[in-house]
Amino acid sequence: MIKITILSFYFVLLRKFYKFVRYKNNLIMKKLTAGVLALVLSSSFAVANAQKKKSDTVRTQEIEGVVVTALGIKREKKALGYASQEIKGDLISDAGQTNAVSALSGNVAGVQVTAPSSMGGSTRITMRGISSVTGENRPLIVVDGIPLDNSNINSVDTQRGAGGRDYGDATFDINPDDIESVTVLKGGPAAALYGYRAGNGAIIYTTKSAKRGRTEVQFNTGVSFESIYIRPKLQNQYGGGLESTLPTANINGQTYNITDFGTDESWGPKYDPNLYYLGWNSFDPEYANDYMKLKQWVAPKKDVDDFFRVGTTYTNNFSVSKSFENTNVRLSYTNTKINGIVPNSEIKKDNLSMNISSSLSDKLKAEGIINYVHTAGFNRPEQGYGDNSLAQKFYQWGQRQLDFSELKDYKLSNGMQRSWNRTSWDDGTPNFSDNPYWTIYENTSQDSRHRFFGNAGLTYNISKKVYLAGKVYGDVYSQTISSRVAIGSAALPEYNIQKRNNSEFNYEGRIHYNDNFGDFSLNTFAGFNIMNRKWDVLNGNSVGGLIIPGLYNLSNSVEPAQSSNASYHLGVKSLFASVSLGYKNMLFVEATGRNDWFSMLNDDQFYPSVTGSFVFSNVLKTNWLSFGKLRAGWSQIAGGSADPYIRGTYATIGTPFLGDPIYSTPATNGEPAILPEMKTTKEIGLEASFFKNRVGFDFTYYDVKTTDLIIPLPIDPSTGYGFKRINAGEMTNKGIEASVNVSPIRTSDFSWDITWNFARNRNKLVELQGDLQNYILTNAPFRVQLAAQVGYSYGVILGTDFVYDANGNKVVDENGFYKASEIKPLGSVLPDYNMGFRNSFKYKNLSLSFLIDIQKGGKYFSTTHMWGMYSGMLEESALGGNREAGVILPGVKEDGTANDILLNAPTWGGTYYSTVDAQNVFDASYIKLRDITLSYDLPKSVIGNALQGVRVSAFARNLFAWNLAFKGIDPENTAYGSGNIQGLEGGSLPSTRMYGINVNFKF
C-alpha cells in the first residue's frame, strides 16, 4: 500500500510542477453573446443566461454557450467544428447514480454503455463503434484535466464467462456528487489534442468549485433499495436425479427412498406429496430436527429467489464552498455503502476532495485540486462458470426440490461443510457443488484501493492577449485483492493475494494568444506535455491446497506457494498547437496538431485535425431560426494505446520443476518496427434551433477508417513462435448520431422538455492479412468462439447453426437430433442502433423526468441456457409438466419427410449442448425504463430563512425491460469486463431494480 497523506501528495504535485512548468493559465474568452455571462473562476465558467432554468433534462448546453473541450479549455460552442454533447451533474446525482460512467447510458447520442447490475461491476463504454481488433476501444476518461486510469483487472477467464469476480473499473472512484458537468468529445476531430490516448474520443468530467462572491454549504443524503428482477425461470414440477423414480438405500436394516445426491441435474421424479424420502440433511445426528426425518417430494417453500436479499445503498455527501477576497475553496466528503443482493457482500467508498483557486496578484493565479478515494469491497460474488459461482449452481446445475431454509444450516460443529450434493448418503463430501451458504460465508474475497488524483498549476497573464499556463496532473493508487477457498470445499482449497500499484504524472505547459482584427478573431495556443506512467503487479498463490483450516496465508500452502511479479514503465513526450480563426462570428476554421514521441515505439507520430463551422443563422436573420450551424471535421490519430514493451520479445518464466527454474520463449514474437494503429475520421454535422430555442437538433455523419491494425499473425511453429505481431488490416465504422430537443410547453409555471438521442453504427473488418480470415478473440467456456472475422462486424460469435432444406425447414438426423452446420458466424455482439428518449416535466417546484433506453440488435451466447436445458433446471425443460410424453423436434428428416422420431426428455435436453449452438444464441435487443426521478423543491414558506433550499428526490432505475429474446437474461449482464470480450454469458446473477430517495439541503 502506498502510504501517503493528502497533504504530502499535494506537495509532491507542486514540487514536480515547479520542476517542469512555471506558469499556469487563466482562460480569457472574448465576445460571448449578450445573453451569457462568463465568470472566470478556478479556470471554469459559470454561465448565466436569462432564459436558462435549472432542469434535469439532458440537453446540449445553450447553443450560444461555453463548453469544455480538449485539454480542459473552454470554448464557445458555436465556434466548434466537431460533435460534442454535455449533460449536467444534477442528472447523475438526483437519480442516485453511484457510477459516473454507467450514468451516461441512453443520455448521449453515439455512446454505447453496457452497465451490468452486478455490485460495483465493470462498465463497458464505446463511442462510434469498435476500431481495434486487439487494442483499446474505450474513450479516454478525464477528470478536471487529469487523464484517469480506467484499468479493468478482471482475468481473461472472468471476462469470457469461465468464472471469477468482477472487480469493476477504476473509474468507479469518480464521485457523482462532485460532478458539475460531463462533456463527451465523440471523435478524432474533437479529441485530437490528447494524442494517441484519445483515438476513441474522450469523456471530460468537470467537478464543482466555489463561485465568486458566494458561500454555500450542502448536505446530500440518500438511500436506495435493490431487488432481483430479470433472472432465468426455473421449472417447479420435477426434482433432482436422472431417473423417473427415486433410488433407495438400506439404512440400519430399513429401506428408504433417497435422492441421487451425487447428481446435480433435475430429471428426477415428478413432485408427489404422497412420496416420502430422506433428504441431503437427514444424516447428521447433531441436527436432531432433521436426522432420519422423512420429507414429502414437493416443491420447496423457500426457493432460489429467497436466497437473495434486498440490497441497499446509503450515500451521504457534505460540501462547503467559500469565496474569500481572492481565493475560492470547496471541500467535499462523500461516504457510500453498498450492500449487495447476495448476503455477506458489500462495498464501502469514501471520497474526499478539495478544490482551491487563488489570485496571487493581478497577473498571477494559482489553483489546485486533490481527491482521495478509498474503495473497499468484501465478497463480490463470483460470476460465470466457476466453482464459487452462485448463478451456475442456481440456474445451470442443481436439484429443484432443495429448500433454501434448510440449506442455511451449512456447517457441522467440526467446521466441515454440509452440502446437498453429497457423494452418497453415508459420505457427506461434496461431489460437485458446495452449499451456497458455504460459498458466501467461507469462500470469500476482499479488495481495497487507495487512490489520490489531482492537479496543481499557475496562470500568468503577460497581457490582455497573451497568457502562460502550466499544470501538473497526478493519478496514484494501490490496490490489494485477496480470495480464498476454504478447506472442506468441493474445489481445491486455495489462497490468492494480488497487489497492484499505479502512478501517472502529466506535466503540461501552454502559451495562449487571443486577439481580434476587425471582423476576424484569433484563438491560438501551443504547448507541451510529458507523460510518465508506471505500474507493477505482485501475485501470490497457494499450491496443492491449504494445511490448517481458517488460516489464509501463503505460508499455509501444502506445497511452496507460487509468486510472480511484473513491472511496467512507459512515457510519451508531446508538442501540440491549435489555431482557430473566426470571421464575423459566422465562419470558423480550426487546425490542431500534436506530435508524440513514445518510449514503446521507434518512430514518433504526428496527429493533425482540421475543422470548420458556418453559423448560417447569422446570415439568414429570420425570426423562426434561433441558431443554425453547419460543421465539418477531419483528423488522423492513433487508434489506441500500445503495450509498453510491444516491440520486444522476452522470455517467459514458468513454475520451477524439481527446484529448477523454467524459461521459455513466448508464444508471440515482437516486432521492433511496429507502428501504432492509425485512425482517420471524417465527419459532417448540422445543428439548428428554432422558435426561440423551443425546437432544436444536432445531426452528425461520420466515416472512420483504422489501418495498421496490430494483430498476432499465425506463423510456422518451426520458428519457435506461434505468432508474430504485425501491422496489417483495416476496419471501418460509418454511422449517424442525432439528438433532438423539443419544448412543447414553456410557461412561467409549467414546462415540458423532450430529448431524443439516436446512434447507428456500421462496423466492418475489411481485411486482416493475406488469406487470414479471422482472429479468435477468445473461447466461451465450452462451445462457441468470439472472433474478428473479415467481412463481418467485430465480435462475431462462431458456432454451429441449424441445417435447413430448400424450403427453410430445420433438418434432423437419423437420431432425431437437429443436424449441425459447420462452424459459421452466428451474429455480432455489436448492436444495430441505440436510442434514448427522455421526457422532463416541471410544474412550479415539482419536477418529473424519465428515460427510455433502447437497443436494437446484437447477439450473445448463453451458457446458462445451454446447461439449464441440459440439466432440466429451466422452466422450458419441464415440457409443461408432461416430460413423460417426450419430444419430437419440429423439422424434417434428410429425405424431406416430417420428423417423427421421439426423444425422451433428458436426451432432448442434452441436445442443447451437443448439437446446434444457435439454440443458445439470442438477440441482445431491449427496451428499458432506465430511470425515473420525481423531485420537489420545498418552498421558502416551509423551510424558512435557515436554509437556502431543500430538494427531495425519489428515483427508480432499471424499472422495466421489454423485448427480451430470452426472458431469463438481461442482455447487459452478458459480460464480466469492460474490454473487447463481450457477449459470452457464462453464468450471470439476476439483474436488479433499484428504488430510492435523495434529500439535498442547501445552507
What contacts 864, CB < 8 A, 6 or more positions away?
A: 232, 391, 395, 396, 968, 969, 985, 986, 987, 988
Decide which of 371 and 712 is more confident: 371
SS3 of residue 228 by DSSP: strand
Q: Which tens digits make up the pLDDT trace of 551-565?
A: 999 999 999 999 999
Q: Give the separation between CA 217 and CA 809, rounded to whole angstroms.
A: 70
- What's the average model confidence in pLDDT over 706-727? 89
Supply the pLDDT for residue 11.
40
- DSSP for 50-98, please give it: TT--------PPPTTSEEE-GGG-EEEGGG--S-EEEEEHHHHHHTT-S
**Confidence band (pLDDT; 50, 70, 90) for 75?**
confident
What would the mean pLDDT of 939-948 be, rounded to a whole number?
87
Q: Which helix (H) or strand (E) holds 714?
A: strand 710-714
Q: What is the reported pLDDT for 22?
A: 35
Q: What is the pLDDT of residues 80-91, one digit of tens each?
A: 888 888 888 887
The whole-number pLDDT of residue 15 equals: 44
- 960 CA to centre of own chain: 20
Q: Do residues 223 and 667 make contact, with C-beta atoms less than 8 angstroms apart?
A: no
Q: Which amino acid is at 983?
A: G
The pLDDT assigned to 603 comes to: 83
Mean pLDDT in the chain?
Answer: 89
Q: What is the pLDDT of residue 665?
A: 85
Which H/E stretch holds residue 391? Answer: helix 390-391
What CA–CA distance (Å, rounded) separates 93 from 89?
6
Amino acid at position 865, single letter: H
Output 43 or 941, whichever has higher pLDDT: 941
Residue 421 backbone phi and psi in degrees, to 5: -95, 60
Centre a 10 Å sphere on the Cβ of residue 670 and count the other Cβ atoms it contains: 16
**What is the rounded CA–CA span in Å between residue 655 and residue 195?**
40
> DSSP string spanning 397-409?
S--TT--HHHHT-
Q: Which three cell numbers stand for residue 204?
A: 471530460
Q: What is the pLDDT of residues 480-495, one digit of tens each?
A: 999 999 999 999 999 9
Residues 612, 586: contact at Cβ < 8 Å?
Answer: no
Asked whether the beta carbons of 983 and 860 are under 8 A apart, the reply is yes
Measure CA 205 to chain center. 17
Cell 524439481 locates to 658
- Answer with the residue of higher pLDDT: 101 or 272: 272
pLDDT confidence band for 114 (50 / 70 / 90): confident
Residues 835 and 857: beta-carbon distance below 8 Å: no
> At which residue does the C-alpha cell 421526457 appear?
839
Write the DSSP assignment of 240-258 as a string of letters: SBSSSS--EEEETTEEEEB
Per-residue pLDDT of 658-692, as tens digits, reads 777 788 888 888 888 888 899 999 999 999 999 98
**Which of the two residues, 640 and 695, has the higher pLDDT score?**
695
CA distance 938 to 929: 27
Burial class of 80 by CB neighbour count within 10 A (0 to 12, 13 to 18, 19+):
buried
What are the pLDDT digits (tens) for 910-923? 999 999 999 999 99
pLDDT in tens, 734-772: 999 999 999 999 999 999 999 999 999 999 999 999 889
519 touches 584 (CB < 8 A):
yes
Q: Under a CB-based contact definition with an 8 Å cutoff, are residues 727 and 675 in contact?
A: yes
Q: Which three cell numbers stand for residue 269?
A: 421424479
Angle subtended at Cα 210 by Cα 209 and Cα 215, rounded to the nearest 5 degrees: 150
Q: Which amino acid is at 292?
A: M
Find where cell 476496419 sits. 731
What does the radius of gyration of the chain's CA atoms come to, in whole angstroms? Answer: 30
Tell me if 173 sits within 8 A of 223, measured CB to CB: no
Length of the chain counted residue by residue = 1003
**For residues 603-614, b (16+ Cβ closer than 10 Å) or e, as one string?**
eebebebbbbbb
C-alpha cell at 36: 451569457
- Residues 173/143, Cβ–Cβ less than 8 Å: no
Bridge partners of 834, per DSSP, are: 759, 855
**206, HSE (Cβ side, Cα atoms, 13 Å):** 23
With CA atoms as reference, report the closest residue to 129 among 192, 204, 195, 188.
188
The percentage of the chain sitting over the pLDDT mark of 70, rounded to a whole number, equals 93
Side-chain half-sphere CA neighbours of 52 within 13 A: 15
pLDDT at 8 over 60: no
**Residue 897, number of CB atoms within 10 A of its CB:** 8
pLDDT tens-digit series, residues 579-632: 999 999 899 999 999 999 988 888 888 999 999 999 999 998 888 999 999 999
Question: If you average pLDDT over each of 132-136, 874-878, 937-941, 947-951, which comes out highest?
Answer: 874-878
Helix (H, G, I), strand (E, B) or coil at 435: coil
Residue located via cell numbers 470548420: 612
Q: How confident is the model at residue 896 (pLDDT cuts 50, 70, 90)?
A: very high
CA distance 37 to 47: 6
CA distances from 822 to 183, 917, 918, 923 (A): 47, 11, 12, 21
The pLDDT, as a whole number, for residue 943 is 87
Beta bridge mates, 310: none
| Whole-angstrom distance, CA of residue 901 vs CA of residue 885 | 12
Q: 42 pLDDT band (50/70/90 cuts)?
A: very low
What is residue 145's predicted lDDT score, i.e. its pLDDT? Answer: 93
What does the pLDDT read at residue 253?
A: 92
How far apart are the C-alpha atoms of 774 and 505, rounded to whole Å?
38
pLDDT given for residue 644 in this prediction = 83
CA distances from 263 to 267, 402, 423, 907, 1000 (A): 10, 13, 9, 16, 54
Cβ proximity of 47 and 37 under 8 Å: yes
The helix/strand/coil state of 390 is helix
Q: pLDDT (tens digit, 9 = 90+) per residue, 966-999?
A: 999 999 999 999 999 999 999 999 999 999 999 9
Distances (CA, A) of 557 to 334, 488, 540, 553, 565: 40, 15, 11, 8, 19
Q: Using 50, 70 and 90 to split pLDDT, how confident is the model at 717?
A: confident
Q: Is the pTM of this model over 0.85?
A: yes
